[in-house]
């Protein structure tokens, strides 16, 4: 419970009518979830406008309405607050309602097209092993120390986000590492949060279905850095040409990291093998259990964050070198067939190219690389042909299959991908929309020593078809199919 006027602290008020001194029990932006004594915030979505549900919210018990346009007929029992940006108001209100949890711990946000989950997961594990109570908000799961809570989005909505942060404060967390998706920044889910720092990993083609142009996608990421206070740090990867752009208007203390050029934090890849990565960081040669060139970036970013947060260099490297991730990011599936099976969450052209380049670097050249890949339905269509082209260029065999078709026809998505297959490569490609059958086919093509990459779904344990999520786990299916072949 909190007083309405207190919840509205810092919200731009264009007009107010009604009682501001009443108690509010919850904040909602979905009328279907409203009950007694709640404040309903009307937000414009991509499908409908939340303003159309103001009456429905009042019927269900909303006593305060926050909106951009006032309804024609106002009810005497309800307080109406007009603001210029409801989504932003929602973020600020959630921060107030939960009593500013982000200011009571050190909250670090990681943004970028790829590497967010890996980076926050490494940071969470590192800081736990350094002895702190630590929270994490990620695509895969949310966590307070060892306690795992399910996650539905890369960044939760403003209300959930602040509720979780409050829980983390109560659990005594000193640090929270969170992913900041471009959608979340754009939709102001993080308005009102007090960040101790922000990290930029990279930016490449994704989500143009939502942001429309690459420039507005970049602008969404940059907003995170523009909004940082001077007490915060901003850490960017300068090997990405947009790294410096992120820093342009930031008041925060600026740091850079790079594998290729001068930067505050630098590392050199000494070796990159299926057994792990050897890096030279700060004059020290260290082996890490993560695989893949791109993970050198993630490890360096983590090292930089921990250093900025004043942890000891040797301590950081000692603990970081022990961490192993089993989260569907370049994850090898243990088996006895002699086939190297890798499950990876690469679902963008850039990520797929990185993963396949990494495989290319660590392969001997005598084996086949077999890639199973699809693209999600109701998402950016431009990436479909690009991903098929990359898969063909960097693999010996490719099976184009379904990812999460969502509301689209799987065959149509595959046909969109197929457009990227050059005629000269067409013989490499098989189209098979049933993902389980596609993985089975890859396993049956594979001989001892070959490498199978199953890309796109990583940690996901479902496949979403026409609004229904069916159980599906790439790791489980790969295991099952390899065993089937081995035991035949």
Ligand X SMILES: N[C@H](CCC[C@H](N)C(=O)O)C(=O)O
Picked from ligand UAG, ligand X, Mg ion, none, the partner binding residue 53 (CB below 5 to 8 A depending on kind) is: ligand UAG
> Which residue has the CB atom at the shortest distance from ligand UAG?
45
Q: Is 187 annotated as a binding residue?
A: yes
Q: Is 376 in the site for ligand X (CB under 6 A)?
A: yes
Per CB under 6 A, contacts with ligand ATP among 432-461 are 458
Six-digit token pair at 291?
Answer: 């695989």
Q: Interface residues for ligand ATP in 238-297 (CB under 6 A)?
A: 294, 297
Token pair belonging to 359: 């495989």
For residue 384, say whether it is annotated as part of any ligand binding site. no
**CA distance to 89, 96, 483, per residue, from 30 (Å):** 15, 19, 46
Residue 384 interacting with ligand X (CB under 6 A): no
First and final C-alpha spacing in the chain: 63
Q: How many CA atoms lie within 13 A of 339 on its CB side?
A: 24
90-149 residues near Mg ion, rule: CB under 5 A: 116-117, 139
**CB contact at 8 A, 278 and 287:** yes
Nearest approach, Cβ of residue 379 and ligand X (Å) = 5
Residue 116 known to bind ligand: yes
- Only segment of 248-256, 310-318, 344-352, 443-451 that touches ligand ATP (CB under 6 A): 344-352
Phi-psi domain of 249 (left: phi exceeds 0; alpha: psi -120 through 50; beta: other): alpha
**How far apart are CB 155 and ligand UAG at their closest, in Å?**
4
Select from 88, 457, 459, 475 the one that contacts ligand X (CB under 6 A). Answer: 457
* From 8, 11, 27, 31, residue interacting with ligand UAG (rule: CB under 6 A): 31
Binder of ligand ATP out of 88, 116, 189, 379 (CB under 6 A): 116
- Residue 83 as a binder of ligand ATP (CB under 6 A): the answer is no
Using the rule CB under 6 A, is 349 a contact of ligand ATP?
no
The answer to whether 329 contacts ligand ATP (rule: CB under 6 A) is yes
344 contacts ligand ATP (rule: CB under 6 A): yes
Which of ligand ATP, ligand UAG, Mg ion, none sits in contact with 29, Cβ below 5 to 8 A by type?
A: ligand UAG
For ligand UAG (CB under 6 A), the number of binding residues is 21
Q: Please indicate if the annotation marks 189 as binding a ligand.
A: yes
282 binds ligand UAG (CB under 6 A): no
Q: From residue 334 to residue 363, what is the string marking binding to ligand X with x (rule CB under 6 A)?
A: -------------x----------------
Q: Tell whether 131 is in a known binding site.
A: no
Q: Which is nearer to ligand ATP, 258 or 354 (CB)?
A: 354
Query: Does residue 183 contact residue 207 with C-beta atoms inside 8 Å?
Result: yes
Q: Choosing among Mg ion, ligand UAG, ligand X, none, which partner's interface includes residue 404 (Cβ < 5 to 8 Å by kind)?
A: ligand X
Closest CA to 155 of 204, 103, 94, 205: 94
217 binds, among ligand ATP, Mg ion, ligand UAG, none (CB under 5 to 8 A by kind): none
Kindly state whether residue 395 participates in binding ligand X, applying the rule CB under 6 A.
no
Q: How far is the CB of 311 from ligand UAG (least distance, A)?
A: 28
86 binds, among ligand X, ligand ATP, ligand UAG, none (CB under 5 to 8 A by kind): none
To the question of whether residue 405 is assigned a binding role by annotation, the answer is: yes
Contact region with ligand X (CB under 6 A), list: 317-325, 328-336, 453-461, 466-474: 453-461
Nearer to ligand ATP, 175 or 294 (CB): 294
Report the residue number, 191 or 277, with the smaller CB distance to ligand UAG: 191
Q: How far is the CB of 458 from Mg ion (least distance, A)?
A: 9
User: What secondary structure, in 3-state letters, does the chain show?
Assistant: CEEHHHHCCCCCCCEEECCCCCEECEEECCHHHCCCCEEEECCECCCCEHHHHHHHHHHCCEEEEEECCCCCCCCCCCEEEECCCHHHHHHHHHHHHCCCHHHHCEEEEEECCCCHHHHHHHHHHHHHHCCCCEEEECCCEEEECCEEEECCCCCCCHHHHHHHHHHHHHCCCCEEEEECCHHHHHCCCCCCCCCCEEEECCCCCCCHHHHCCHHHHHHHHHHHHHCCCCCCEEEEECCCCCHHHHHCCCCCEEEEEECCCCCCEEEEEEEEECCEEEEEECCEEEEECCCCHHHHHHHHHHHHHHHHCCCCHHHHHHHHCCCCCCCCCCEECCCCCCCEEEEECCCCHHHHHHHHHHHHHHCCCCCCEEEEECCCCCCCCCHHHHHHHHHHHHCCEEEECCCCCECCCHHHHHHHHHCCCCHHHHHHEEECCCHHHHHHHHHHHCCCCCEEEEECCCCCCEEEECCEEEECCHHHHHHHHHHHHHCC
The reply to whether 355 sits near ligand ATP by the rule CB under 6 A is yes
Name the one range near ligand X by CB under 6 A: 298-306, 365-373, 415-423, 452-460. 452-460
Instruction: Give residues in contact with Mg ion (CB under 5 A).
Output: 116-117, 139, 154, 179
Annotated binding site for meso-2,6-diaminopimelate: 379, 403-406, 456, 460
């Amino acid at each position: 419970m909190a007083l309405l006027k207190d919840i509205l602290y810092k919200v731009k008020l264009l007009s107010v009518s009604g009682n501001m001194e009443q108690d509010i029990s919850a904040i909602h932006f979905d009328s279907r979830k409203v009950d007694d004594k709640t404040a309903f915030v009307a937000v414009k979505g991509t499908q409908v406008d939340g303003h159309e549900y103001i009456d429905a919210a009042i019927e269900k018990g909303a006593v305060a309405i926050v909106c951009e346009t006032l309804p024609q007929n106002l009810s005497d029992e309800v307080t109406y607050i007009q603001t210029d940006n409801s989504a932003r108001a929602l973020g600020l209100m959630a921060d107030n309602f939960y009593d500013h949890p982000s200011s009571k711990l050190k909250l670090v946000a990681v943004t970028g097209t790829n590497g967010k989950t890996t980076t926050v997961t490494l940071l969470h594990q590192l800081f736990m092993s350094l002895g702190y109570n630590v929270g994490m908000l990620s695509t895969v799961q949310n966590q307070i120390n060892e306690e795992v809570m399910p996650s539905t989005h890369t960044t939760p909505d403003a209300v959930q986000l602040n509720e979780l942060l409050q829980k983390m404060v109560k659990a005594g967390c000193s640090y929270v590492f969170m992913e900041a998706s471009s959608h979340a920044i754009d939709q102001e889910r993080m308005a009102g949060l007090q960040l101790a720092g922000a990290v930029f990993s990279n930016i490449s083609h994704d989500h143009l279905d939502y942001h429309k142009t690459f420039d507005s996608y970049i602008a969404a990421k940059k907003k995170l850095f523009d909004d940082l206070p001077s007490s915060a740090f901003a850490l960017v990867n300068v090997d990405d040409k947009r790294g410096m752009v992120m820093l342009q208007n930031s008041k925060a203390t600026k740091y850079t990291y790079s594998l290729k050029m001068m930067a505050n934090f630098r590392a050199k890849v000494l070796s990159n093998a299926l057994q792990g990565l050897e890096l030279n960081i700060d004059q020290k040669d260290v082996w890490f259990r993560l695989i893949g060139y791109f993970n050198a970036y993630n490890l360096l970013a983590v090292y930089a964050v921990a250093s900025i947060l004043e942890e000891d260099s040797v301590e950081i490297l000692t603990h970081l070198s022990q961490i192993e991730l089993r989260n569907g990011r370049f994850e090898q599936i243990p088996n006895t067939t002699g086939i190297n099976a890798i499950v990876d969450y690469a679902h963008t052209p850039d990520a797929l190219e990185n993963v396949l380049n990494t495989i290319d670097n660590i392969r001997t050249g005598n084996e086949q690389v077999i890639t199973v890949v699809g693209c999600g339905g109701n998402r950016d269509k431009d990436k479909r042909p690009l991903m098929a082209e990359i898969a063909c260029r960097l693999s010996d065999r490719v099976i184009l299959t379904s990812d999460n078709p969502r509301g689209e026809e799987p065959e149509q998505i595959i046909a969109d991908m197929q457009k990227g297959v050059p005629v000269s490569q067409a013989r490499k490609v098989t189209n098979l929309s049933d993902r389980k059958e596609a993985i089975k086919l890859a396993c049956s093509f594979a001989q001892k020593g070959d490498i199978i990459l199953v890309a796109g779904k990583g940690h996901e344990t479902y496949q979403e078809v026409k609004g229904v999520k069916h159980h599906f786990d790439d790791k489980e299916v790969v295991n099952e199919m390899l065993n089937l072949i081995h035991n035949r």
